[in-house]
Structure 1
Amino acid sequence: MKGKMNLDEYFKRIGFHGSYSKPDLATLKLIHKQHVMSVPFENLSVHCGEKITMDLEMIFNKVVRNNRGGWCMEINLLLGWVLREMGYDTVTLACRVFRTSVNDYGPKDTHLVSKVVIDGKSYIADVSYGVSSQVWEPLELVSGKDQPQAAGIFRLIDQGGLWVLEKTSRKPKLVNPEFNKLNLVNRDETKQLYRFTLTPVEDAVAYFSDTCHILQTSPDVMFTNKSICSLQMPTGFRALFGWTYSEVTYKPEEGIDVFDMRNISDDEIDHILMEKFNIKLQNKLRPVNNTICYTL
């Protein structure tokens, strides 16, 4: 990998202070969790006049040096580079995201994850899916095994070479019931997230470049219809969709997730981004929250 990128800067960005001399599972879990707690899943570049590229040096500068977040083609690509630099046995896998609006998977691979092999066992690392679907730790690649995490129970299922990731959630409880009408809250107990094969993507930049362009320019895709920023917290997550700010608290002991949602004004946007997500944009954000199927 060319360019001025180094692990120490990345680790400082995510607040990781441990040893990374041994590429083991414990270190991977810690890095994964620190990453999702520090780097937002966001597409704000699409809505403030910035072009998203799959140039790793530019991604590194954006995320690490300029304290931004990004979507999977930035963040998971960056994580893959970090893991390879650390000595992990890892490859990139391409995924198709499940679309609840049509009850089927998308026609193109629009998501990427890393498969990491440690001591003969395989794990899926994904630090860029966001909101309540975000895993905090890598998932063991075992079919049908319940893997409880803070957000709920995740499950990988092998369907004849197609692996499906699904999640079983808790019941949502809204502090402000008037937001029920916005359909921002997921109410499916169990939902499919995405599917993939185990065929490695040899050149992720080349493979996803056209898709990266489409996702930030097409009027028909979710990323051009919603400005999104979400960040995992020790108790749940925060999210900003357009002008709707949400704080979600996981309460597994009660079998619920508490959604505290409110609308904010244009004048509050910059303050919320800085205070809640530690993001300071260089260009003016034009929030968008059109009706298109995407839930917290």
Structure 2
Amino acid sequence: MTWNGEELDVDAYLARIGYEGEAKPDLETLRALHRAHVASIPFENLEIMLGRPVLLDLAALQDKMVRRRRGGYCYEQNLLFAAVLERFGFSVKGLGARVRAGASSTRPTSHMLLSVEADGEQWHCDVGFGGDGLLEPIPMREGVDVRQGEWRFGIVGEDEGVRVLRTEHADGWFDLYAYTMDRRLPVDYVVMNHYTSTHPKSPFIRRPVLQQAAPDVRRRLVGAQLTLTRPDGSTDERDVPVSELRETLVREFGIELGDDDFAELIRAHYAGA
């Protein structure tokens, strides 16, 4: 199996995301699993902040995100999800994307997403993009325009087979990332992960980043700033003092760090705050 789905602890994963329905390789199951995963497992880069490598083998992913109930970033989340889908009989293809998200220059291919076949069609799946990400799959074709909860998403085509996932902001469409249909294998994500977790220009090595999307609000903690964004463009922003950080991680993102890890996070990234 490409994604090592045979190594998955199915019952533990389903309990982690609160899924109780039948699991079979159809669109209804795909949508339900995607939505439950996004709702339960937040985007976060805290392993990097704690000075540890980001491990991508399935045993490590299950230990972190399932057993210890932590989150992860795109490779961790989508590799786990790919293993889940493969185990349930879906055909899963890994893809790579260049994140745009307001960038003024071309970024490297450093994001992972999935193409999944269900009910005779290819579906764009991505449980690892964070606050602006999809809640559930959308058809993987140009011209798609869908609503998920209060959010609107679309896919447009560009030259050379490039497709762009975008979301609607209060001031218009906002490009999230651009991708092609070139297949990526697990070993490709090892290389991408090394860049994302260690390169000086990576946005994920400088400060804690936690994100989660819900039907009516997007939550983001970058450094000490917590932002809640609603579909009408309104935001609530505030700085989180160190005295409230641990409670905020639990309340907003469901992340409970052990005493040693929390102390190290404060020492390394919030000292003097």
Give the TM-score of the pair, scaled to structure 2.
0.88
Structure 2's unaligned 5+ residue stretches are none
Distance 2:189 2:215 in 1: 32
CA contact (8 A) 1:3 1:57 kept: no
1:114 paired residue number = 114
Mapping for residues 45-84 of structure 1, pairs under 5 Å? 45-84=47-86
Secondary structure in 2 aligned to 1:219? Answer: coil
After TM superposition, give the deviation of residue 122 of structure 1 in Å: 0.8
Distance 1:80 1:92 in 2: 8
Residue type at the aligned position of 2:140: L
**Post-superposition CA distance 1:207-233 (Å, at most 9, x none):** 122321222222222111231112233
After TM superposition, give the deviation of residue 139 of structure 1 in Å: 1.0
Matched, 1:135 2:116: no
Distance 1:168 1:249, change over 3 A: closer
2:240 paired residue number = 264
Distance 1:2 1:154 in 2: 29
Secondary structure in 2 aligned to 1:110? Answer: strand
2:198 paired residue number = 217
Query: Of the candidates 189, 199, 214, which is equivalent to residue 172 of structure 2?
Result: 189
**Post-superposition CA distance 1:226-258 (Å, at most 9, x none):** 3111223343132211111223344xxxxx133
Distance 2:189 2:96 in 1: 9
Distance 1:45 1:151, change over 3 A: farther
Mapping for residues 157-168 of structure 1, pairs under 5 Å? 157-159=156-158, 160-168=160-168
Distance 1:71 1:151, change over 3 A: farther
1:183 paired residue number = none
**Post-superposition CA distance 1:128-164 (Å, at most 9, x none):** 1111x21111010121121122353211123342111
After TM superposition, give the deviation of residue 78 of structure 1 in Å: 0.6
Distance 1:81 1:216, change over 3 A: same
Distance 2:151 2:163 in 1: 19
2:256 paired residue number = 280
Distance 1:144 1:65, change over 3 A: same
Distance 1:222 1:237, change over 3 A: same
More deviation in 159-168 or 122-131? 159-168
**Post-superposition CA distance 1:52-74 (Å, at most 9, x none):** 12112101110000000000010
Distance 1:234 1:192 in 2: 19
Distance 1:45 1:101, change over 3 A: same
After TM superposition, give the deviation of residue 121 of structure 1 in Å: 0.9
CA contact (8 A) 1:116 1:123 kept: yes
Residue type at the aligned position of 2:151: G
**Post-superposition CA distance 1:157-210 (Å, at most 9, x none):** 2334211112222x2xxxxxxxxxxxxxxxx52121111111222x22x11223
1:92 paired residue number = 94
More deviation in 66-75 or 238-247? 238-247
Distance 1:112 1:151, change over 3 A: farther
Matched, 1:227 2:193: no
1:155 paired residue number = 154
2:106 paired residue number = 105
Residue type at the aligned position of 2:109: D
After TM superposition, give the deviation of residue 31 of structure 1 in Å: 0.8
Secondary structure in 2 aligned to 1:129? Answer: coil
Distance 1:155 1:249 in 2: 18
Matched, 1:126 2:126: yes
Secondary structure in 2 aligned to 1:257? Answer: coil
CA contact (8 A) 1:134 1:151 kept: no
After TM superposition, give the deviation of residue 4 of structure 1 in Å: 5.5
Distance 1:265 1:55 in 2: 35
Give the TM-score of the pair, scaled to structure 1.
0.82
Residue type at the aligned position of 1:110: S
Identity %: 30
Distance 1:166 1:2 in 2: 30
Distance 2:78 2:38 in 1: 11
Distance 1:58 1:116 in 2: 24
Distance 1:32 1:99, change over 3 A: closer
CA contact (8 A) 2:8 2:84 kept: no
